[in-house]
Amino acid sequence: MDITAATSRSHSVYRKFQSLFGETPLLVGSPGRINLIGEHTDYNNGWVLPAAIDKCIIGAIGKRDDDVVHLHAIDQDQTHVATLDALERSPLLWPNYILGTVQQLVKRQYPVQGFNFVFSGDIPQGAGLSSSAALECGATFALNELFAFGIPKLDIALIAQAAENEFVGVKCGLMDQFASVFGREGQLIKLDCADFSHEYIPFANADVELVLFDTQVKHSLASSAYNERREQCEYGVSLIQKHHPEVRSLRDATRWHLNRYVKPVDRVVYDRCRYVLAEFQRVHDACNALKGGDLEAFGKQLFASHNGLHRLYDVSCPELEILVEAARNNPAVLGARMMGGGFGGCTINLVRAVEVQGVIHTVTKVYREKTGMDAEVYRATISAGTRVLTIAD
Ligand code: GLA
Question: Separation of 339 CA from ligand 1 center, angstroms?
Answer: 9
CB 315 within 8 A of CB 339: no
| pLDDT tens profile 264-295 | 999 999 999 999 999 999 999 999 999 999 99
**Best substitution site from 33, 41, 42, 249 to test ligand 1's pocket, by max atoms within 8 Å of Cβ?**
42
Q: Average pLDDT of 188-201?
A: 98
| pLDDT tens profile 206-226 | 899 999 999 999 887 677 899
Split at pLDDT 50, 70, 90, the class of 3 is: very low
Is 136 touching ligand 1 by the criterion CB < 6 Å? Answer: no
- Strand (E) or helix (H) holding 3: helix 3-21
| pLDDT tens profile 176-194 | 999 999 999 999 999 999 9
Burial of 117 (0-12, 13-18, 19+ CB in 10 A): buried
Is 97 touching ligand 1 by the criterion CB < 6 Å? Answer: no
- Strand (E) or helix (H) holding 47: strand 47-48
pLDDT over 90 percentage in the chain: 93
* Whole-number average pLDDT of the chain: 96
Exposure pattern of 160-193 as b/e (b: 16+ CB <10 Å)?
Answer: bbbbbbebbebbbbbbbbbbbbbbeeebbbbbeb
CA distances from 64 to 1, 146, 282 (A): 32, 11, 49
Per the confidence metrics, is the pTM higher than 0.85? yes
- Residue 392 is predicted with a pLDDT of 65
Q: Average pLDDT of 146-167?
A: 98
At 366, the amino acid letter reads: V
Among protein residues, the one whose CA lies closest to atom 7 of ligand 1: 340
| pLDDT tens profile 306-357 | 999 999 999 999 999 999 999 999 999 999 999 999 999 999 999 999 999 9
- Residue 60 is predicted with a pLDDT of 98
| Residue numbers annotated as active site | 176
Q: Is the pLDDT of residue 2 over 60?
A: no
CA distance 31 to 315: 25
Is 209 touching ligand 1 by the criterion CB < 6 Å? Answer: no
